[in-house]
Structure 1
């Protein structure tokens, strides 16, 4: 992701757009891969969990997030994998998020495999949450 990518923006850009305005724009201009994932994630369709799309978190906008388990799903095109992505991921991890990244072509061509990886990660996060909850109860 380069510094000109709206998802990597600070709270406002030169034109004065706020993060919420940028997120709203991104929601209405989804890529084909984002549309495919959103079809499966919206309305509690995936594991009966609530996902949000194009959500500002700190100075970044994430593609999809399940806040309950602090899981971020990113649909990546060719602009990803640079230093800005590394800094973004590092900051999001310090905030307690797990990040899964999928290439757009994998989402479009191997949707079930992508969903299965997401399911496995969420099951692991659910298991970790249960362990933490039982520790707190004792």
Structure 2
């Protein structure tokens, strides 16, 4: 467990541009009191963002996730997390950086409108 915690802490200290942008997209829900965690161990994985109360995990995927090996790993990971009762939503880096309004709209459909 310590290795996952150390890895998660390192990831929180060095977020990608897309993760920083997504954290900003989450601001209205965080401001409304919905608790989100970044880079958090869940089972054998470290997930990008999780709202445990809503059982929602959001993954922000870079290019490596769109090749055969990345797709396979993500499928195994998603099946595991869903068995634990989580809903897993994925956005690409390009989605978050290029269309944050669209990402916000998708989240409104999942979490409810906060505006």
TM range (shorter): 0.7 to 0.9
Q: Counterparts of 1:120 and 1:49 in 2: how far apart (Å)?
A: 15
- Post-superposition, which runs of at least 4 consecutive aligned residues in structure 1 deviate over 2 A? 39-43
> Could you tell me which of 78, 90, 103 is aligned with 2:92?
103
Q: Which segment is superposed worse, 86-95 or 34-43?
A: 34-43
Deviation (angstroms), 1:66: 0.8
1:1-138 to structure 2, matched below 5 A, reads: 11=1, 18-41=3-26, 44-45=30-31, 47-80=32-65, 81-123=70-112
Greater helix proportion: 2
Task: Give aligned pairs, total.
Answer: 107
After superposition, the CA RMSD in angstroms is 1.6
SS class of match (2:110): helix
Query: Which sections of structure 1, spanning at least 5 residues, go unmatched?
Result: 1-10, 12-16, 124-138
Q: Tell which structure's C-alpha radius of gyration is larger.
A: 1
Superposed displacement of residue 39, structure 1: 2.3
SS of 2:40's equivalent? Answer: strand
Please, which moves more after superposition, 47-56 or 105-114?
47-56
TM-score (norm 1): 0.72
| Deviations, residues 18-68 of structure 1 (Å, cap 9, x unaligned) | 1100000001111100011112325823x5411100000000000001111
